[in-house]
């Protein structure tokens, strides 16, 4: 006898009762881009609804996020001055450190994650100190200054550090630096499997971090490599990461599931700028039912195994969820 799967689909209430995957506002971390100044809120043309903001505007934005039930953010800094080693990222009065202090003072209940990298702070746009001979990032020299950056974030009051530069040994380095400075309870969310992807274009507009030469394929992962992708996350777990991540998300859901099954840590996905911009453009041109497709995408992330979704859609999703409960 064939099975009548449709029995549990015929009634709306029953469909809800048997639903296997759900999305909650608590699943989200919202990215914010902060720069110096006052009263600055500049929309990014390639990412409608996303802004570069001065810290006073970020503080206002945090208040709006909390009204929607979003209490977790990830900060990206845009300094006034960039140099070859990203000195602003190593300064206790730099844009990120000072912003953490201000945000935590105004919103002590906001969970502040900091992106730890150098691409926004260097004049060459790469994620660390350049090896001039090899024309790529010097891995071990960058590890040294990454530890310094992590301690600065910790002292400023960050609730979690998220290193995104894809340097070999970064988690072990940061864990040792933080533990040695007395921050053994500060968690690390590793960008453990991060691909050299074409989906990042709009982010580089908002973060002003486009490389001045070459690309990042010598340190970010080849999108074609499945086994290496799993190995990267397994290695970060062994080095002491608390949360793993796959970035981008949408084209890599197979790896979200495989890494989830191969490790024991919570899993984050970064729903990146290009993914966001595609849906925005399609929605603006009435090519898709925008809200339905956004929610379907979020469900796909959760179904693949994500516990945490970093997304520019977070505010919209919070509003959709609230509307669905009315």
Global confidence as pTM = 0.94
pLDDT exceeds cutoff 80 at 208? no
The CA distance from 309 to 286, in Å, is: 25
Scanning the structure block, which residue is given the tokens 């991540």? 245
How does residue 138 score in pLDDT terms, banded at 50, 70 and 90?
confident
pLDDT exceeds cutoff 70 at 176? yes
Coil, helix or strand at residue 149: helix
pLDDT tens profile 280-315: 999 999 999 999 999 999 999 999 999 999 999 999
Catalytic residue among 82, 194, 260, 315: 194
**Strands 41-44 vs 47-54: parallel, antiparallel or unpaired:** antiparallel
Coil, helix or strand at residue 1: coil
The CA distance from 125 to 136, in Å, is: 11
Q: What is the pLDDT of residue 165?
A: 84
The CA distance from 300 to 311, in Å, is: 13
pLDDT exceeds cutoff 60 at 97? yes
How does residue 209 score in pLDDT terms, banded at 50, 70 and 90?
low
The CA distance from 240 to 179, in Å, is: 11
DSSP secondary structure letter of residue 209: -
- Output the six-digit token pair for 29: 């971390």
How does residue 118 score in pLDDT terms, banded at 50, 70 and 90?
confident
- Output the six-digit token pair for 161: 């550090």
The CA distance from 254 to 159, in Å, is: 30
For residues 59-66, give the mean pLDDT: 98
Pick the CATH number of 18-324 from 3.20.20.70, 3.65.10.10, 3.40.630.10, 3.10.150.10: 3.20.20.70
Name the packing angle between helices 170-180 and 226-239 (round to 10°).
10
Q: What is the pLDDT of residue 271?
A: 98
Q: What is the pLDDT of residue 214?
A: 52
CA-wise closest residue to 305 among 259, 270, 236, 248: 259
- Output the six-digit token pair for 313: 């859609």
Catalytic residue among 247, 280, 302, 315: 247
Indicate if 105 belongs to the active site.
no
pLDDT tens profile 10-37: 999 999 999 999 999 999 999 999 999 9
Q: What is the pLDDT of residue 212?
A: 56
For residues 236-243, give the mean pLDDT: 98
For residues 186-207, give the mean pLDDT: 87
pLDDT exceeds cutoff 70 at 326? no
Indicate if 12 belongs to the active site.
no
Coil, helix or strand at residue 240: coil
pLDDT exceeds cutoff 80 at 41? yes
Q: What percent of the chain has pLDDT over 70?
A: 96
For residues 236-263, give the mean pLDDT: 98
Mean pLDDT of the chain: 92
The CA distance from 264 to 16, in Å, is: 29
How does residue 204 score in pLDDT terms, banded at 50, 70 and 90?
low
The CA distance from 245 to 286, in Å, is: 32
DSSP string, 28-86: EEEEEEEESSSS-EEEETTEEEEEEEEHHHHHHHHHHHHHTT--EEEEEEE-S--BTT-
């Amino acid at each position: 006898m064939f099975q009548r799967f449709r029995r549990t689909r015929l009634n709306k209430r029953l469909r809800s009762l048997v639903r296997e995957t759900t999305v909650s506002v608590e699943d989200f971390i919202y990215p914010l881009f902060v720069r110096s100044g006052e009263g600055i809120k500049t929309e990014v043309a390639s990412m409608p609804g996303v802004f570069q903001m001065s810290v006073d505007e970020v503080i206002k934005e945090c208040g709006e996020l909390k009204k929607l039930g979003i209490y977790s953010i990830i900060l990206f800094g845009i300094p006034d001055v960039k140099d070859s080693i990203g000195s602003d990222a190593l300064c206790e009065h730099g844009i990120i450190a000072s912003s953490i202090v201000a945000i935590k003072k105004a919103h002590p209940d906001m969970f502040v994650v900091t992106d730890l990298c150098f691409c926004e702070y260097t004049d060459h746009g790469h994620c660390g100190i350049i090896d001039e001979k090899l024309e790529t990032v010097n891995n071990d020299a960058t590890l040294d200054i990454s530890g310094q950056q992590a301690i600065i974030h910790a002292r400023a009051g960050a609730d979690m550090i998220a290193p995104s530069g894809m340097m070999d040994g970064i988690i072990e380095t940061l864990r040792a630096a933080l533990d040695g400075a007395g921050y053994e309870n500060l968690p690390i969310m590793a960008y453990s499997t991060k691909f050299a992807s074409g989906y990042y274009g709009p982010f580089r507009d908002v973060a002003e971090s486009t490389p001045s030469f070459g690309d990042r394929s010598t340190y970010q992962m080849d999108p074609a490599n499945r086994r290496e992708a799993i190995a990267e996350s397994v290695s970060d777990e062994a080095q002491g990461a608390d949360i793993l991540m796959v970035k981008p998300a949408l084209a890599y859901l197979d790896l979200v599931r495989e890494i989830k099954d191969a490790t024991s840590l919570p899993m984050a996905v970064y729903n990146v700028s290009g993914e966001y911009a595609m849906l925005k453009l399609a929605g603006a041109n009435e090519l898709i039912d925008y809200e339905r497709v956004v929610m379907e995408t979020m469900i796909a992330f959760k179904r693949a195994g994500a516990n945490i979704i970093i997304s520019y859609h977070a505010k919209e999703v919070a509003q959709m969820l609230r509307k669905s409960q009315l």
